[in-house]
Amino acid sequence: MRQLIRVLLVDDHPVVRKGLAAVLDAEDDIKIVGEASDGHEGVRLTQLLKPDVVLIDLKMPQLDGVGAIKKILYFDPSVKIIILTSYADDKHIYEGIAVGAKGYLLKDAPPDRLVEAVRAADRGESLLSPEIAARILNQFSNMINQSPDDTTAAVPVVTPTVRDYPALTKREREVLNLLGKGVRNREIADQLVIVETTVKIHLRNIYSKLDVGNRTEAVLLAKDLGLID
């Protein structure tokens, strides 16, 4: 029996999610495992549900699609992500592709193309709306004509930065730094001359601000952001 392709939907419009679910769940080889209404929830549910493919919008409250994609792939590079959005301008296209999306479809794409994109992404392939593919080819052609010796010059590279996350307080940075050294809660409390309960409160705040679920993820992301050595 063929294994089902497990899909997570991330879009802030319930009607859109309902329509997508109806189209994809009708296929014998695709199963909707969850729905998220914003980027933060999308990141959390990806870590919890371990979908094969994430179908995500770009413009959402709290954390947009690009930010969510960066976080999702940071913690699990194996997840295949398809952008499904109303935006077809160059900025959104290149940002979405630069952060690792396997497909980029417009919301007016026919249902069969959506299904095809999910299957292609699961196979590790990419599928773009014809309009998107045309824009990319046109831009690539312009890049070659303008800079024949450096065709990658205009391709944006998007990596996580401290600006993508709420600022940590001085005390939270101190706790995070000790966390990165492998210090346990009790020892952190002793070194900072605070009670262990306060340490746990600081940790919850750190996890929330970095949008991570545990100590290991916090340390990995903090190192990547340059918050700790």
DSSP helix, strand, coil percent of the chain (3-state; round to 5):
50, 15, 35
User: Is residue 146, in this structure, part of any structural domain at all?
Assistant: no
| pTM of the predicted model over 0.85 | no
Per the structure block, which two tokens stand in for 74? 């940071």
Residue 123, amino acid:
R
**Residue range of the domain that includes 184:** 162-225
User: Is residue 220, in this structure, part of any structural domain at all?
Assistant: yes
Chain Cα centroid distance, residue 153: 24
Neighbours of 71 (CB within 10 A): 27
Instruction: For residue range 51-84, list pLDDT tens digits in order.
Output: 999 999 999 988 899 999 999 998 899 999 999 9
User: Cβ neighbours of residue 21 under 8 Å, at least 6 residues apart?
Assistant: 9, 32, 35
Whether residues 121 and 169 share a domain: the answer is no
User: Is residue 152, in this structure, part of any structural domain at all?
Assistant: no
Instruction: For residue range 85-134, list pLDDT tens digits in order.
Output: 887 666 777 788 888 898 888 888 899 999 999 999 999 888 887 767 66
User: Cβ neighbours of residue 46 under 8 Å, at least 6 residues apart?
Assistant: 8, 54, 72, 75, 76, 79
Residue where a domain stops, chosen among 107, 139, 171? 139
Domain with residue 193: its CATH number is: 1.10.10.10
Assess contact for 155 and 147: CB atoms under 8 A.
no
Closest among 124, 89, 96, 118 to 20, alpha carbons compared: 118
Whether residues 9 and 73 share a domain: the answer is yes
Domain with residue 35: its CATH number is: 3.40.50.2300
